[in-house]
């Protein structure tokens, strides 16, 4: 009987170890939802119909939208993730994320993370596209549909900053989000996807647990062994059907 119990324990450990290393977590990156975008900007813009098509394709393919907190809890505490998890992210904090993407996600029962540039909150006229306000960010955050996280304060290339400016970029955005939204901020999207060892170390010291970059040449998904300060994202292109996006995700390789 004792040997049988030990065998079951061993099998349990092996099964959970295999599960941890076999997780495939695609992280999708969006920016603007714009029905009048130019063909040369499909890497940062797509139509409302394209966005709906891609979200519906994810649901039809069995994907469940999760948040970074779910991934962190999986890593730290072994909390189970859905069989096919996906992280949907938006960069910059454009107004159309609030007016267009947010209602669609809410209607479909999906969740997403928006990485905001805190120095541009509510800005209009001096930027290409208006950004949503703190009040609108609060509405989204309180809904449970949207998780607001940091894309720095001024969207500077972090690898080119002095240490003082780097620390300011990382910590000011974190402080402002926590102050205005009353939440913990522990996820960072590097502006332009660029980072180096110094940037990653300062992000860790500033209190970030997870950071994401961009992988355009070779789409990659993440696993339990991925570097938490270099998680890969897959660009969701405008003009691309939901079926094509699923094919890209399914064909993505691991980044360990």
Distance, CA of 15 to CA of 82 (rounded, Å) = 16
Looking at residue 255, what is its pLDDT?
65
Looking at residue 9, what is its pLDDT?
43
Closest CA to 148 of 120, 100, 111: 111
* Cβ burial, residue 73 (10 Å; 0-12/13-18/19+): middle
Distance, CA of 98 to CA of 122 (rounded, Å) = 12
Angle among Cα 69, 73, 74 to the nearest 5 degrees reads 115
What parts of the chain have a pLDDT lower than 70? 1-21, 255-256
Cβ–Cβ contacts within 10 Å for residue 24, how many?
16
3-state secondary structure of 127: coil
- φ and ψ at residue 184, rounded to 5 degrees: -85, 135
* Residue 98 token pair: 């609030």
Looking at residue 1, what is its pLDDT?
55
Contact 168, 176 (CB under 8 A): no
Residues in contact with 64: Cβ distance below 8 Å, sequence separation at least 6, in sequence order? 82, 83, 84, 85, 86
Looking at residue 217, what is its pLDDT?
82
Looking at residue 99, what is its pLDDT?
98
pLDDT in tens, 76-102: 999 999 999 999 999 999 999 999 999
* Cβ burial, residue 105 (10 Å; 0-12/13-18/19+): buried
Looking at residue 126, what is its pLDDT?
72
DSSP letter at 231 equals B
Contact 231, 27 (CB under 8 A): yes
Closest CA to 149 of 175, 173, 115, 120: 115
> The domain 25-255: what is its CATH number?
3.20.20.370
């Amino acid at each position: 009987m004792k040997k049988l119990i030990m065998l079951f324990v061993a099998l349990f450990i092996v099964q959970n170890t295999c599960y941890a290393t076999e997780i495939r977590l695609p992280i999708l990156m969006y920016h603007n939802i714009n029905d009048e975008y130019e063909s040369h900007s499909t890497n940062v813009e797509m139509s409302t119909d394209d966005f709906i098509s891609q979200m519906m394709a994810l649901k039809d393919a069995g994907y469940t939208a999760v948040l970074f907190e779910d991934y962190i809890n999986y890593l730290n505490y072994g909390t189970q993730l859905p069989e096919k998890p996906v992280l949907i992210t938006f960069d910059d904090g454009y107004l159309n994320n609030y007016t267009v993407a947010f209602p669609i996600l809410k209607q479909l029962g999906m969740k997403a993370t928006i990485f905001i540039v805190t120095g541009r909150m509510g800005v209009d006229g001096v930027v290409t596209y208006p950004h949503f306000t703190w009040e609108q960010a609060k509405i989204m955050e309180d809904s449970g549909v949207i998780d607001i996280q940091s894309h720095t304060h001024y969207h500077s290339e972090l690898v080119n900053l002095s240490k003082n400016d780097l620390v300011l970029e990382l910590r000011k955005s974190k402080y402002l989000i926590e102050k205005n939204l009353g939440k913990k901020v522990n996820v960072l999207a590097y502006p332009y996807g660029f980072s180096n060892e110094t940037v990653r170390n300062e992000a860790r010291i500033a209190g970030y647990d997870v950071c994401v970059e961009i992988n355009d040449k070779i789409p990659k998904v993440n696993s339990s062994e991925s570097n938490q300060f270099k998680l890969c994202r897959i660009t969701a292109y405008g003009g691309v059907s939901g079926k094509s996006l699923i094919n890209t995700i399914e064909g993505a390789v691991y980044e360990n």
